[in-house]
Structure 1
């Protein structure tokens, strides 16, 4: 038969499902189990020796049929050579960094990273003897001037957590690769629907699957996608720490991925519409959304991304903190909570932490996640609460 063309939409529907046979269930079942048994000692030994390879059944902690299918599916979407699943997005970050760092090494970390990334670097890696240096995420190719003989990796995000600067992924990846330094990028915001950083020169992409990839605020999971030989070290490190993704979470991830493209297309459109509406309100000083030219690094986004998530920031004109708190409390359609990327809209004030590049905005920063609610309902909710900021 002729080879038919395939798109990402096809892959999202067809991958990670039972092999073609008749009859068959549409979905893989929840696969529970710890012990795997063998008929011969030789077969057991072969599995033991290959236990770090995705697809080898050896013991439940190393994976099962369903988790291997999920890894293959994610590898296709990310254009990766290897994917390792983790128990959370934070676990993905920490396992990736543990795999590339060691005592006496120097780690460059973008100044806009997720708070838990900063906490792990400052609280754990420093105790291991890793020197952490935070850098301006907008350095681009100039990051080469920070490289040392001991530099082991560059950790950054696209866009930055809370403040949404979009770094030059290509420039940082090229500079690091030429120097033999690994790059680790948190790509949770865009998902592979809107960007595949491994194709831009990055070595490792980490993501919280708890957010858009699963999409229903009911699954704690992370993933590490990589290219080249680094994947084997990441997988061994993850298993050495005993990190394990649950069977129910694997099932939920396979289910959630089916609608990823449709959901991301909605969030792109809805996020831009809500950000545009907010930009026109008198209480708003600036919108921080990579698709807007007011956002630092917008040109990088326009070159390397084909869409935007529904998560963005808004800087309100300066006002007392208690007015921001009252504004947030007055909203009805926006939940107050950490995480994002589910079907529900969220709101959360943000206090950026910077140690290398000062945060100079004098307004109040609030992060919005746009969900699947009716946009007119969200606008009406905001319109009723916004006057609180100027009372």
Structure 2
């Protein structure tokens, strides 16, 4: 190319190069666009608005981050989507978009623990009351809705104890009272449960889990089904400055391409392991939505198109906390760790849960099944059971 300013110093040319590669490049994967400052040709084009179709500032998205938001929203059948730094950020964004001082929200008592902690440790100080409810309440939630109720949460299946909620019944009851419903849809990866077809207003998931799929990113998304929800979430997202890394978004985009095959394999392996555990004399209950003993199983059959990799085991009453601890620490392929949805199998023991029902007295272990061979996972569980017999 012709140099229009041949006398510019080399230091200036480091910042304003006189050569550039062609941008006419097409590949199978999206490019990673890193950048905060967006350039404009004219002052009249310069704006600072998240609503624009173009790009105005890196905080509101680069082509990489917007690609991920668009793809997730498309998969979920949503009106729009927003990418956030993690699942907990998604939860906080939804609360702060819909609730103000003096407002009331409802949360299943089986929700993700940090959701409850956010309510108790932050929202309470802001004058927002969050009341917990039995996840199996269904349309009975009408009795808990107040004049100042501004949000109802669902999470199905519930964390650790795996109760499947009657989300359509809750949605119908909430909407009759003019209250929006938000759903933590992480278990279903946004695809095994069709949240927006069943009337949910806002759906979030931790992309850290199944979409990322390799335990190496922290990301979340919030998808919206209505124009009102889009405006509330979008405006709050901007004010909170919830920027995300385009590199992490690129990893999530890569994870999306193998999500279907991973979910299929995880479902098959998990069911094989769950059925084996169900036949063991040490096990009192296997809490897997696809098994009839799991609370809400019939609703799972009605509303879900598949199951995922995480489930829980309740040991017989003779097991105490120490024996449960010894069991998980004796596992070798199942590593001891939180989170789930990756390629590695994980286990975690829990103390007595702060639940009015189904606390299971500290005899519960949550398992996440990875991509290992089922026979090897079963052998690992068997050797651990023998060690603590």
Output the TM-score relative to the length of structure 1. 0.90
For the pair 1:350 / 2:338, whether they are aligned, the reply is no
**Conservation of the 8 A alpha-carbon contact between 1:55 and 1:68:** no
**Conservation of the 8 A alpha-carbon contact between 2:286 and 2:313:** yes
**Conservation of the 8 A alpha-carbon contact between 2:353 and 2:361:** no
**What's the CA shift for 1:370?**
0.4
Find the counterpart in structure 1 of residue 293 from structure 2. 294
Computing the radius of gyration from Cα coordinates, the structure with the larger value is 2
Given the superposition, is the C-alpha separation of residues 272 and 258 from structure 1 closer, same or farther in structure 2, using an over 3 Å criterion?
same
**What's the CA shift for 1:68?**
1.2
Find the counterpart in structure 1 of residue 45 from structure 2. 43
Output the TM-score relative to the length of structure 2. 0.91
What does the per-residue CA deviation read over 1:242-298, in whole Å, with 9 as the maximum and x for residues that have no partner?
111111111001000001111111111111111001111111110000111100000
* Aligned residue-pair number: 365
**Conservation of the 8 A alpha-carbon contact between 1:352 and 1:359:** no
Q: How does 1:1-391 map to 2 (within 5 A)?
A: 24-45=26-47, 48=48, 51-53=49-51, 55-228=53-226, 229-318=228-317, 319-351=319-351, 353-354=353-354, 357-362=356-361, 364-390=363-389
* CA distance, structure 2, for counterparts of residue 28 and residue 92 of structure 1: 24
**What's the CA shift for 1:358?**
3.2
**What's the CA shift for 1:156?**
1.9
Q: Which runs of 5+ in 2 are unaligned?
A: 1-22
**What's the CA shift for 1:363?**
6.2
Q: What SS does the corresponding residue of 2:164 show, helix, strand or coil? A: coil
**What's the CA shift for 1:54?**
6.6
**What's the CA shift for 1:359?**
3.3
What does the per-residue CA deviation read over 1:280-333, in whole Å, with 9 as the maximum and x for residues that have no partner?
111111000011110000011000001000100000113222222221111110
**What's the CA shift for 1:144?**
0.8
* CA distance, structure 2, for counterparts of residue 363 and residue 71 of structure 1: 39
* CA distance, structure 1, for counterparts of residue 385 and residue 251 of structure 2: 37
Runs of 4+ aligned structure 1 residues displaced above 4 Å come to none
**What's the CA shift for 1:23?**
5.9
What does the per-residue CA deviation read over 1:44-87, in whole Å, with 9 as the maximum and x for residues that have no partner?
03xx2xx2227431111110111111111111100000101100
**Aligned-residue RMSD, C-alpha:** 1.5
**What's the CA shift for 1:387?**
2.3
